[in-house]
Amino acid sequence: MLAIEALTKRFGGVVAVDSVSFGVNAGEVVGLIGPNGAGKTTVLNLVTGFSRPSAGKVLFNGKEVTGTPPYALAKLGIVRTFQTTSLFSRMTVLENIRIGTHLRAGRRKSQAIGAILEEMSLAKFRDFAANSLPYGVQRRLEIAVALAADPKLLLLDEPAAGMNPEETHRLIEDLKLIIKKNITIILVEHNMRFVAQVCQRIVVLHRGRKIAEGVPGEVLELPQVIEIYLGKRRYA
């Protein structure tokens, strides 16, 4: 579904992303991991149009979409969430989701809003202002807004950041729901346990370069991967 070829991003003298290539098939859940500064969020920004690549290509279902702005990608079905909590803070939960459905037409809009409120268990927070919600609920709302835009490919930027085990468990349930809707997911994450549980395949970045790719069980055992996370436990 998504193919990234030799994607590169330079900021002045620094090469944040160095000729990274990988692909994602429809229906997969792929994790993009690596230590801080590895370039994960930059890759995300490049794919979702928030940053222009210095070189390389991004292909979506065979069509080149390199450098397409975010709103156009959303129309194609590519939607993302952000690393730091990003909501329409002064608006209510309902209004947030409604804006998410901006691209949908007429009656399908209200149906979608209702459905998402139910599925994401946000119905009881319907008229609350987004910035009055507890952290875990805010993160859930972010995903709800992204879902409202009817994505085919969803890119999540550190969705589990700052979550306690209960919230993380809830997040995994939400992800399972999303998978059931046939939405492809790319996940940028730090939390190894989370990634190992949820992703079918992972791509490891270090200092802007891809250093490994494959099934979590195998990749996380590779010496070069363990080395960049010196000090972390092995995950079976």
Partner 1 sequence: MGQRKRVDIAILCCLTLITFAIPWAVKSSFYIHILIMSAINAVLAIGLNLCMGFIGEKSLGHAAFYGIGAYTTAVLSVHFGLSGPLNLLAALFVTLVCALIIGIPSLRLRGPYFAIVTLGFVLILQLLVLNGGAFTGGPMGLPGIKRLTLPNILTGRPFTLSTDIQYYYAAVMCFWLAMIVSIVSINSRVGRAWLAIRENLDLAESVGISAFRYKLVAFLMGAGLAGLAGALYTHYTAFVSPRIVDTWVNVLLAAMVIVGGEGTLLGPVVGAVVLTALPEALRFAEGYRMLLFGVILLIVIMFAPQGIVGLAADLAKRRRRG
> Nearest-CA neighbor of 30 among 10, 18, 44, 11?
44
Token pair in block for residue 201: 């395949």
Position among 99, 129, 172, 179 found at the interface with partner 1 (CB under 8 A): 99
CB of 52 to partner 1, least distance (A): 14
Residue type, 180: K
| Residue 48 near partner 1 by CB under 8 A | yes
Rounded to a whole number of angstroms, the CA Rg of the chain reads: 18
Return the number of the residue (92 or 200) whose C-beta is nearest partner 1.
92
- Told to check if 82 binds partner 1 by CB under 8 A, we report yes
Strand, coil or helix: what is 31? strand
Give the binding-site size for partner 1 (rule: CB under 8 A).
29
- 179 exposed, middle or buried (CB, 10 Å; 0-12, 13-18, 19+)? middle
Min dist. Cβ of residue 80 to partner 1 (A): 5
* Cβ atoms of residues 154 and 185 within 8 Å: yes
Angle subtended at Cα 134 by Cα 131 and Cα 139, rounded to the nearest 5 degrees:
80
Comparing CB distances to partner 1, the nearer of 42 and 168 is 42
Q: How many CB atoms lie within 10 A of CB 105?
A: 7
Give the residue among 194, 192, 202, 199 at the shortest CA–CA distance from 231.
Answer: 192
CB of 54 to partner 1, least distance (A): 21
Among 25, 61, 89, 111, binds partner 1 (CB under 8 A): 89
Q: Which stretch binds partner 1 (CB under 8 A): 84-92, 160-168, 185-193, 213-221?
A: 84-92
Closest CA to 148 of 115, 121, 197, 123: 115
* Least distance CB 25 / partner 1 (angstroms): 23
Q: In degrees to the nearest 10, what's the CA dihedral of 79, 81, 86, 90?
A: 50
Q: Which of 146, 171, 186, 225 binds partner 1 (CB under 8 A)?
A: 146
Q: CB of 111: closest distance to partner 1 in angstroms? A: 16
The interface with partner 1 within residues 148-167 (CB under 8 A) comprises 148-149
Which of the residues 184 through 223 are near partner 1 (CB under 8 A)? none
Interface stretch with partner 1, choices 25-33, 117-125, 140-148, 202-210 (CB under 8 A): 140-148
Query: Can residue 75 be called a binding residue for partner 1 (CB under 8 A)?
Result: yes
Whole-angstrom distance, CA of residue 108 vs CA of residue 116: 12
Tell me which residues touch partner 1 (CB under 8 A).
48-50, 69-72, 74-75, 79-82, 86-91, 95, 98-100, 102-103, 145-146, 148-149
